[in-house]
Structure 1
């Protein structure tokens, strides 16, 4: 070996400890042994020692001693203690000792590997590539113990551990009659993951949507656009009432609050003339107390049911993520972390005969900050219910055949709720 590769002091390892040499050092982790051995044998090949350390016949003792000297440079203290006495200056024997210790083909290890393969499951934080590598590592370890692991078994175990979003891919692979190797399977799975990333969009529910022509910008007070698209964003603002630069006199809520009912009527008349739909935004300030206490608001614009009490839910969807879910209001604003949970809720409604009947609202959103429970007409009809709006005959008919009258109060549709009820009563 050339002197430039030795430590200048003449003591210690002959290679620098940083850079690529550091990546050759074994960390003593059994799971990483096979990867380390591949790198170590690659290093031996570069030094012209691989044939010696892997040979099963007679070898040059000097070269075998060089193999030992090269090998121990990249062992941790624990591994070094395994070979320093029993295989001194014997590179071949040292490698065999390491293999027996870290890659044993004994029955306990084989059983442990099989259990690990059968319980394989993709973690939410790992990528498909990391998941496949973890699976291949187990399969390779089993094959190194002379176990026969077919590609079909490997594919089945990987499919078994995929989460719910990969269900279409799992169904396709299990129903297909095509013979697929594990290499081809990996390519298909990665392609599916990339496709899902491209097509994935955050969940969004539109609540009380209105036509953009009737929308009012809270930035400039004009109609026809939302505040985020306002062409007057850079125009200086001033409110004489509040003496503030955050808004203008035209958009001051305190100043225009007494005329809110008049503005609502004007918008409704304009919408009738233009032929567009209109749904005003309800709040705790305008909802009659009778509806808030004894009614379930019926909304034609909402895309999901909304429930404000957690006790009404019988089931929650564990996959629901408030960070990725957005609520969109009539003014065009979108905000996440409004709906805290999603699941099936049960409300008690009075039918046309005056009896209290439990009704399940599927995939309802739990929003405790809302002043009122809402039933989405769209969500109800999607689930098989009928909502009929006729003069004097407004009613809801569930898929179970129960009929409920839609009450009307100041142009608000609502359903009368029953007495106090808990899901445990069913």
Structure 2
């Protein structure tokens, strides 16, 4: 028989006995001595082989227990005796224990801040503990109980899982939950930049001179950037459009807007839709005052 080293956490009386039992059984099978705890020897098995198998199984089980638990079973001379006493103590199928395990399942809820994988691990542990005391929960019931354990923030998820279905499996729910969690993590790691639409009405003024506008500077720069909303020609605003001067006056401000890129220093251009090109935010700012001044936000 080959010899291998296994890293098996010792059972201390309070950790997961059901999981320890599964791992311990796997170790005994690998060592070729599981028969010492799970059944009768073959008829042609010699006493010498039985003794060897028994010794290996007995030692393996004892070495996988902490001192506190070891003291409870040290009086058992055989591996089968130790195994039975451990099961009777930590996995008994009494009515009281079955009630306790079922209460754990039916009151199981996902605590705030719990990761999905941790929630599923706790759920699986309860199911295994129930199986250990002889209680089998139907697959569909497991799925519905798991859905009921989710918080209100998963209400849409639950509705989606149930919509149009006549049946559901627990693996359907687990797979969908893990997929949802993965998408959330991926989405949360993506860099996002703020964006918004800001619309304002009012006057702005040049902060440097207390409101005095520099018309000579603005006139020369506006002509190359703006286009009339009325005649579509460049070089003037709608309020100064020659086609409208006939009866409406030269300074009519009726809500038209010019588009000017942020970062320029135009003033006195009336109604302006400013497109902000700052790297930190994408914004559209509409100012419909009679005077306007833009500063470089970059």
Identify the structure with the greater helix proportion.
2
How far, CA to CA, are the matches of 2:100 and 2:192 in structure 1?
41
**Equivalent position of 1:40 in the other structure:** 24
Identify the structure with the greater strand proportion.
1
Q: How far off its partner does 1:80 sit?
A: 0.6
CA deviations on 1:24-82 (whole Å, 9 max, x unpaired) are 13241544212111221111112210012211579956233432122111111111111
Aligned to 1:258: 208
Distance in 2, Cα, partners of 1:203 & 1:41: 51
**Partner in structure 1 of residue 57 of structure 2:** 67
| Change beyond 3 A, Cα 1:181–1:208 | closer
Q: Are the counterparts in 2 of residues 25 and 74 from structure 1 also a CA contact under 8 Å?
A: yes
1:273 aligns with 2:223: no
Instruction: Confirm whether residue 49 of structure 1 aligns to residue 37 of structure 2.
Output: no
Structure 2: distance between partners of 1:30 and 1:103: 12
Residue 161 of structure 1, CA deviation: 2.4
Aligned-residue offset at 1:92: 0.3
Q: Does 1:76 align with 2:66?
A: yes
Question: Is the 8 Å Cα contact of residues 208 and 330 (structure 1) preserved in structure 2?
Answer: no
Normalised to the residue count of structure 1, the TM-score between the two structures is: 0.44
Change (3 A) 1:50 1:193: same
- Distance in 2 between residues matched to 1:107 and 1:37, nearest whole Å: 21
1:98 equivalent to 2:51? Answer no
Per-residue CA distance 1:349-384 (angstroms, 9 max, x = gap): xxxxxxxxxxxxxxxxxxxxxxxxxxxxxxxxxxxx
- Map Cα deviations across residues 300-327 of structure 1 (whole Å, 9 max, x no partner): 99xxxxxxxxxxxxxxxxxxxxxxxxxx
5+ long unaligned stretches in structure 2? 200-205, 228-257, 263-272, 282-287, 293-298
Whole-Å separation in 2 of the counterparts to 1:331 and 1:53: 73
Aligned residues: 231
- Say which SS state the counterpart of residue 146 (structure 1) adopts: coil
Q: 1:30 to 1:100 in 2, by over 3 A?
A: farther
**Comparing 177-186 with 32-41, which one deviates more in the overlay?**
177-186
Structure 2 residue 147 is matched with structure 1 residue 156: no
Structure 1 unaligned spans of 5+: 6-14, 211-255, 280-299, 302-328, 335-390, 392-407, 412-426
Q: What is the CA-CA distance between 1:165 and the residue it aligns to?
A: 4.6
In structure 1, the partner of 2:157 is 169
Residue in 2 aligned with 1:333? 280
Q: Give the greater-gyration-radius structure (CA).
A: 2
Do the aligned partners of residues 25 and 205 (structure 1) sit closer, same or farther apart at CA in structure 2, a change above 3 Å counting?
closer
